[in-house]
Amino acid sequence: MTVMHIGLTDGSNLLTNYMGTSYMVAVLISVFADTFIGRYKTVIISSVIELVGLLILTLQAHSNKLKPPYCVFPFDPKCETVSGDGRTHLYVGLYLVAIGSAGIKAALPAHCADQFDEKHPTEKLQMSSFFNWLLLSLCTGGAISVTVFVWIQNYKGWDKGFGAATGVMGLALLVFIAGLPGYRISVVQGSTALLEILQVYVAAIRNRNMKLPENPDELYEISKSKAPPDTDFMAHRDKPFRFLDKAAIVQAPTDEAPSPWRQCRVTQVEHAKTVLAMVPIFCSAIIMSTCLAQLQTFSIQQGVTMDRTIGTFKMPPASLPIIPLIVLVFAVPIYERGFVPFARRITGHPNGIPHLQRVGVGLVLSIVSMAIAAVVEVRRKRVAARHGMLDANPMLGKQLPISCFWLAPQFTVFGVADMFTFIGLLEFFYSQAPPALKSMSSSFLWCPMSLGYFLSTIIVKAVNAATKGATASGGWLAGNNINRNHLDLFFWLLAVLSFLNFLNYLFWASWYKYKPQQSAHVPAEHKV
């Protein structure tokens, strides 16, 4: 907004579209990583792509020719929005960063989890701890980003801020490469496991008129004694989705081998059942990601209008996310070292509490966060009205006499919700996904997050269109003056949507049955 002179709504949608693209591309890259080049190479290549994107943004920030002339946006009518080469550089740089970070999101968590053996009792517990420490690492990096880097950008220049990010990204790449000799490297699949899952659905439809055998042992499966040592086997389950068993009906003998689009292994069918059963759980993260998008956009704009002084220091509004990050930096070790061992002794579960219960706690906290955000926004607007500052220009230093730390509760509660829901989902997907889909398991989380960011863009536009004639500002979120908007009503809308989402989640979470953690034994006498 301040440099490129893009309006509040358009700027918010630009950010959510950028984030949505990053998470969506992660899904595609994870397939590419598993099929062709492997996870660690994907991390290296993606880091280089992100480096190039950051370098382009650094060069743009340093060149006056690639930025619009300075003005006090949006109050100066002569302000020019970025266009031409400047707009091209902005989008190319942003989306190279999006693609690069997408590759890291897709491959790094699964590569790290590959370092632990799920069948080893000690390493299985260590893998559970790893996901908590991964969150701690993300929070630590985020805390440095919204404090040190924001300070550099605000007081030393955006070019130096992006330059520092480029340098740190280069250092991260060198550190990752330095660990190569000690990594456990996963074997490249050579074919996408998604194709095998798709074959099950197609085969079940093609065999829909065939009768299932009474004895499930008559369904097709290869002989364990003749299979390669690393072949995965999974026992047949009657529920859920019994109709998919038709994909494993043995076809009448012919001179040619049966088509994989007509006859699938029992293990292949069970993997397809697991993936299909995870879809409703997967969808529960969409609304929560939509709520997260608002804290990264509109809540930052709330902070711009509020008093941000701490003693003699004035905190930049972009540093407001430090509040949940600091909470998480302390909360994750307490959760890992305190709560998990205590809960483990009571429940006997290696993770303290099951994955789906952890996710449910986070979804409840996200509802609370949106409700708090709505209440705080009502108070902020009342302060603006009481002091006659509804049209005050925060860019000229006219902040409302209300501390930005009123925003702390909504950020804090949502930060804790993050710890429960997103890390719980990441661990859930990794533990439940078929072995060949382990790398893609993290994408099962990034995809709903992507949809959540895109949904945020849609909801913002839909709300403005639906309320255009009902408000003086031309919509709840229309215009660049947040004091004249109805952000409080928008937050209440998100709280209601989050509550309905939680009720939907409760149904599917109670219905879901965890898959067996050990591979089932398949009798050697099963016919090929």
Q: Is pLDDT of 27 > 90?
A: no
Nearest CA among 338, 340, 319, 321 for reference residue 330? 338
User: Average pLDDT of the chain?
Assistant: 86
Which of 14-18, 337-341, 444-448 has the weakest average pLDDT? 444-448
The pair of structure tokens assigned to 241 is 């989705």
At residue 352, the pLDDT reads: 81
Nearest CA among 320, 317, 331, 402 for reference residue 365? 331
Q: Tell me the pLDDT tens digit for each residue of 144-174.
A: 998 899 999 988 999 999 999 999 999 999 9
Q: Is residue 524 part of a domain?
A: no
The pair of structure tokens assigned to 319 is 């540093």
Q: Is residue 519 part of a domain?
A: no
Q: Tell me the pLDDT tens digit for each residue of 427-479.
A: 888 788 776 676 666 667 778 888 888 898 899 899 989 988 777 777 888 87
Q: Is residue 199 part of a domain?
A: yes
Q: What is the mean pLDDT of residues 138-149?
A: 89
- Within 13 A of 405's CA, how many CA atoms are on the CB side? 5
The pair of structure tokens assigned to 144 is 């440095």
Q: Is residue 332 part of a domain?
A: yes
Q: What is the residue-wise DSSP string for 356-414?
A: HHHHHHHHHHHHHHHHHHHHHHHHHHHHHHHTT-TT--GGGT--EEEEGGGGHHHHHHH
Q: Is residue 523 part of a domain?
A: no
Using pLDDT thresholds of 50, 70 and 90, give the confidence band for residue 522: very low
Per the DSSP assignment, residues forming a β-bridge with 407 are none
Q: Is residue 528 part of a domain?
A: no
Q: Which of 270, 296, 313 is the last residue of a domain?
A: 270
Q: Is residue 522 part of a domain?
A: no
Q: Which amino acid is at 286?
A: I
Q: What is the mean pLDDT of residues 47-52?
A: 97
Q: For residue 86, what is the domain's CATH number?
A: 1.20.1250.20
Question: What's the structural domain count of the chain?
Answer: 3
CB atoms within 10 A of CB 61: 21
Do 17 and 116 fall into the same domain?
Answer: yes
At residue 523, the pLDDT reads: 38
Q: Which of 277-291, 341-355, 419-433, 514-528 has the highest mean pLDDT?
A: 277-291
From CA 97, how far away is CA 86, in angstroms rounded? Answer: 17
> What sign has the CA pseudo-torsion 363, 364, 367, 372?
negative
Do 115 and 210 fall into the same domain?
Answer: no
Nearest CA among 360, 357, 373, 359 for reference residue 291? 373
Do 168 and 233 fall into the same domain?
Answer: no
At residue 243, the pLDDT reads: 92
CB atoms within 10 A of CB 122: 9
Q: Is pLDDT of 525 > 50?
A: no
| Whole-Å CA distances, 352 to 116, 139, 333, 339, 357 | 19, 22, 14, 7, 10
Do 136 and 200 fall into the same domain?
Answer: no
At residue 395, the pLDDT reads: 73
231 vs 159, residue with greater confidence: 159
Do 338 and 458 fall into the same domain?
Answer: yes
Do 372 and 423 fall into the same domain?
Answer: yes
Q: Which of 237, 270, 303 is the last residue of a domain?
A: 270
- Within 13 A of 298's CA, how many CA atoms are on the CB side? 31
Cis peptide before 321, with omega less than 30 degrees from 0?
no
Q: 458 lies in which domain range?
A: 278-514
Q: What is the mean pLDDT of residues 54-80?
A: 90
- Helix-then-strand count for the chain, H and E: 16, 4
At residue 301, the pLDDT reads: 87
Do 250 and 131 fall into the same domain?
Answer: no
Contacts 24+ apart (CB under 8 A), 139-143: 139/325, 139/328, 139/329, 139/332, 140/325, 140/329, 142/321, 142/325, 143/322, 143/325, 143/326, 143/329
Do 172 and 243 fall into the same domain?
Answer: no
456 vs 121, residue with greater confidence: 456
Do 306 and 381 fall into the same domain?
Answer: yes
In angstroms, the first-to-last Cα distance of the chain is 64
At residue 528, the pLDDT reads: 35
Do 172 and 214 fall into the same domain?
Answer: no
Do 293 and 206 fall into the same domain?
Answer: no
At residue 368, the pLDDT reads: 97
Q: Is pLDDT of 207 > 70?
A: yes
Q: Which of 165, 190, 215 is the last residue of a domain?
A: 190
The pair of structure tokens assigned to 132 is 């908590």
The pair of structure tokens assigned to 427 is 């661990």
Q: Is pLDDT of 285 > 50?
A: yes
Nearest CA among 16, 34, 374 for reference residue 191? 34
Q: What is the mean pLDDT of residues 28-49?
A: 87
Do 115 and 88 fall into the same domain?
Answer: yes
Q: What is the mean pLDDT of residues 35-44?
A: 87
Q: Is residue 34 part of a domain?
A: yes
Q: Tell me the pLDDT tens digit for each residue of 194-205.
A: 788 899 999 999
